[in-house]
Amino acid sequence: MVDSNDASWMRSSSPQVQRLLLELLEGAEAPATSIVRYEPGACFSAPPLALGEEILVLDGILSDETGDYGAGVYIKNPPGSSHVTFSEQGCTIFVKRRDQDPMDRERVVVDTRTADWRPGLVDGLEVLPLHSFGAQHTALVRWAPQTYFNPHRHYGGEEILVLEGMFSDEHGDYPAGTWLRSPHLSQHQPFSQSGCLILVKVGHLLTA
């Protein structure tokens, strides 16, 4: 668990881009999870994405050669892709790199502000699927106040970024800005008393 509100920012290879590292596994090509902040006018050229990346724009506008992406836009750049990102006004993004299936070659862009949400598995939950391939699934989940989920086990693990409100389980309370990683076959019973919005990815930690 990392509370990004208390974590330290570090400079990247670009002096106008800062990174808050949430997780970096061992190895040059290992998965990495970060929150990245672009100052106005910043530009960043990433190396080719051998195992892809997922981005959620948290604030501002992120741009690349394909377009401009405002707050709430989800982008999946597939394995083997490459691009140059920049931000004229500045932005903050959540980024996951190098953890996609090498056969997953689809590029996905979802504007979560206009997409259609679905009812969740219990009353009080709404789900916005963002991407699925094999065992991996990424989605936004909105919890109404006083929503309680069933105890469940995470096959393939689970990763959560709390975007709004307070997410909780029997282990503690997690305010907006908290990142959580639960390993393969872990178990918990989540709930939210005040309501919250979370980004969830499951099924990608089978060997972690």
DSSP state string for 133-152: ETTEEEEEEEE-TTEEPPPE
pLDDT at 141 over 90: yes
pLDDT at 26 over 80: no
pLDDT at 206 over 90: no
Token pair for residue 158? 């689970």
> What is residue 81's DSSP assignment?
B
Name residue 192's beta-bridge partners.
147
Whether 53 contacts 95, CB under 8 Å = yes
Q: What is the pTM of this model?
A: 0.94
pLDDT at 165 over 80: yes
Q: What confidence category does residue 15 fall into, taking pLDDT thresholds of 50, 70 and 90?
A: confident
Provide mean pLDDT across the span 133-145: 96
Ordered by where they begin, the domains of the chain are 2-111 (2.60.120.10), 118-202 (2.60.120.10)
pLDDT at 47 over 80: no
